[in-house]
Chains A and B, each alone.
Chain A
Amino acid sequence: MSDEKFNTGRRKILKTLSGIGAASLMGGFGLGSAWAASKKVKMGFIYVGPRDDYGYNQSHFEGKSSLAKLDWVKAVDEENVPETIEVVKTMESMINLDGAQVLFPTSFGYFDPHILKVAKKYPDVTFLHCGGLWDASKHPKNVGSYFGYIDEPMYLAGVVAGHMSKTGKLGYVAAIPIPQVLRNINSFTLGARSINPAITTNVVFTGGWANPVKEAESANSMADQGVDVLTCHVDSPKVVIQTAEKRGIFSVGYHTNQAVLAPKGFLTGGEWNWSKVYADYAEMIKTGKKIPNLVRGGLKEGIVKLSPYGKVVSDKAKADADASLKKFMDGSMVIYQGPIKDNTGKEVIPAGKSYSQTDIWLESMDWMVEGVIGTTKG
């Protein structure tokens, strides 16, 4: 008897359970579809780290947040999305549940294979990747890439650093020796050497984009060696800038404005201006204009900018940096103008030869300019 009772009970439970299952399967997501139906430009942003990292991810979050003032745009975002199958799921979720028309997965590692895979599956959605180099012969038409020549403001920061350094030793805490990082190191050093040809830049590669412990160690060890201007290229410059401030030396920011982290020693820095880039893309989608597959630009195009000078920056340094800034703005400035030697003494750009910023050759840079102390080999 008790057996029978148990059985009916179990059957009932099973029935109820399957009912719940079916209802939820059909019901889908009430949440996303609510605004997926509205007539707005829908954009999705994906960051590999936290929104408030004072660095790369925050720069994109600030760009996304600035879209809030356009009432015809609906932008959603997700932070801390690893470069694994998880980003694939996040992209699909933004497309299917939020009706995103254009996605901005902003980390380098999202591109191959993740974006390429999802883009093939959703040909009507546009995928714009920050940092990649779109190639018409290899990549789908609904994929594009955008990036800025942030080495331009870093060159200007180098000019300022060249003026401000008393020891003639600059320090660069960098993640890994890839072209984008090397280009910043080189432009920064060239800027500094345009003021003081004897100046050197110490480089330490930490081996990863977010290695706060190693970043602090490198910053401290460079301060010990007499470096008096410190800058970096990692996801979050926070640790390096704060360490520099604590050690009483100057700092040059990167990605976003870090002046608040170093009220005494902050000189200036290279910043992204994604709010302009993202507003432009939103406008293109609204008006139905074709979105270019490859977008590049520097100070002149407004994709990057120079952080406001800190209080300590001398008038002479400001004047020289402003003069170079003017040349960038009128298009007459060329950073990579021969003769340029690398730090092993080999001539990489002969006299008379010059590479303008748009030159793709610069995007495969694997050398460091004379005056840089360090090696790109592990």
Chain B
Amino acid sequence: MFKLLESLLIPIAALVLSLVLFSVFIWFSGTNAFEVLGAIYRGAFGSWFSWQNTLVRSAPLMLTALCTALPARIGLINIGGEGAMVVGGVFATLVGISINGMPPFIVISAMVLAGMLTAGMWIGMVGALKHFRNVNETISSLLLNYIAIAIMSYLVLGPMRDPATLNNPSSFHIGVANMIGNIGESSIHGGLIFGLVVCLVLWILMRYTTFGFSVDVIGGNIRAAQISGLPVGKLILITCFLGGAAAGIAGVIEVAAVQGRANLSLNSGYGYAGILVAFLARHNPLAIIPVAILLGGIRASSGLLQRGFDLPDATTMVLQGIIFIVILASEFMYGRIKWLQPRVATHA
């Protein structure tokens, strides 16, 4: 109970503090901070249109955030979500193009599977390099992003290129029938459901299974885990694979629900934004959902700030940055606020 209260109150207080700091920043730039905060609210959550705008942006963030969050549970700082998303998207497209003509359900399932497998192995490499060769996982995952983008450029500009796409080189189309549609009457594509379901499943896995417990033990103290006989290497590989697979689904969604083809737009920064989401959610798959929606909302409101107040896009980046730093700093507060700690009966 106290623990839950603490893990809710501290982030909320941090969020409020961030907004205050952001307001000061806005004030210095000569704009009315209350109006700006009001506009951020309206642009993000103020109407059904804004909600759809927010949710559709949050879908890929949920999936790429998992790519950082899961390895973080086992003690690895992985920032390879961008590359995993690109790899998943490209190889899913390759599969989609090759079996185009089969029933759409089969095509989409095969694409999701291909995206998960390739992107999973991609981040699996990060885990393997760390475990077997002790290569710093942050560096290797960052560098793998560039390799992933280079592979995509090669495939999209070369073997996979549809010659009809002149000035925006893209792969062949996966077929209109194979596209993932919108949820009901909304303009939110099915990617949101994937995001929610994957977050939920991985939360259950991390919270209620021996696997999740073992991962947290390794993340807490790798020596203790080794001594107690946990298969550390295997668990690192599986966790990295799962994280990569989640980001891979984001890539598949980007192709199957939005672009219809693989092209350079696959590399649009969702992987990097996901790192922020994962840290804000303290690597908890369930908390990723509201945090991704919050960040999606901030991104959605950027347009309103630019058009309504002539503020640059960097304004929302500043807000994101302030939130990020304040939340990270607030980690310090856990266990230090007296009235939030369980009262332990002390017997002298």
Check A177–B157 contact: CB distance below 8 A: yes
A297 at interface by CB-CB < 8 Å: no
Segment of B108-116, B213-221, B256-264, B318-326 in the binding face = B256-264
Measured CA separation A83–B170 after assembly (Å): 13
Chain B facing A: main interface SS: helix
Which one, A27, A82, A207, contacts B153 given CB within 8 A? A207
Task: Give a binary string over A97-108; 1 marks a CB under 8 Å from any B CB, 0 the rest.
Answer: 110000000001
Q: Which residues of A contact B53 (CB under 8 A)?
A: 89, 93
**Chain B contacts for A24, CB-based, 8 A:** 41-42, 45-47
Please tell me if the beta carbons of B57 and A89 are within 8 angstroms of each other in the complex: yes
Cβ of A329 under 8 Å from chain B: no
Q: Is the CB of B169 within 8 A of A83?
A: no
Query: Does A29 contact B47, Cβ atoms closer than 8 Å?
Result: yes
Interface flag for B137 (CB, 8 Å) = no
C-alpha gap A176/B150 in the complex (Å): 12
Question: Chain A: which residue is nearest B307 at the CB level?
Answer: A76
| Cβ contact within 8 Å between B260 and A113 | yes
Interface residues of B, count at CB 8 A: 48
Q: Which residues of chain B come closer than 8 Å to A176, judged between CB atoms?
A: 153, 157, 169, 264
In Å, the complex CA distance between A79 and B304 comes to: 12
Contacts of A310 in B (CB 8 A): none
Given contacts A31-B308, A80-B313, A131-B167, contact A109 B47 (CB under 8 A): no
Bound complex: CA A127 to CA B129 (Å)? 49
**Do B312 and A51 have beta carbons less than 8 Å apart?**
yes
* Interface membership of A280, Cβ < 8 A: no
Q: Mark B259-302, 1 if CB is under 8 A from A, else 0.
A: 11001110111000000000000000000000000000001101
What per-residue 1/0 map shows which CB atoms of A340-364 lie under 8 Å from chain B?
0000000000000000000000011
Whether the Cβ atoms of B300 and A89 lie closer than 8 Å is yes
B56, A85: Cβ atoms closer than 8 Å = yes
- Does B166 sit within 8 A of A, measured CB to CB? yes
Chain A residues within an 8 Å CB radius of B87: none
- Docked complex Cα distance between A65 and B307 (Å): 13
**Is there a chain B Cβ closer than 8 Å to A337's Cβ?**
no
Judge whether B166 and A84 touch: CB under 8 Å. Answer: no
* A177-B157, A207-B153 known; A109-B57 Cβ under 8 A: no
Contact A378–B265 (Cβ < 8 Å): no
Does B82 reach chain A (CB closer than 8 Å)? no
B84 within 8 A of A: no
- Quick check: B56 and A78 within 8 Å, CB to CB? no
Using CB atoms and an 8 Å cutoff, list the residues of chain B in contact with chain A.
39, 41-43, 45-49, 52-53, 56-57, 149-150, 153-154, 157-158, 165-170, 187, 189, 254, 257-260, 263-265, 267-269, 299-300, 302-304, 306-308, 312-313
19 new A-B contacts, CB < 8 A, other than A31-B308, A50-B312, are A24-B45, A24-B46, A27-B46, A29-B46, A51-B312, A76-B307, A79-B313, A80-B313, A86-B299, A89-B57, A111-B168, A112-B165, A112-B170, A113-B260, A133-B166, A178-B168, A207-B149, A208-B264, A364-B166
Task: Return 13 A-B CB contacts under 8 Å, by A number.
Answer: A24-B45, A32-B308, A51-B312, A77-B307, A79-B312, A84-B265, A85-B56, A86-B299, A94-B303, A109-B263, A131-B167, A180-B167, A378-B154
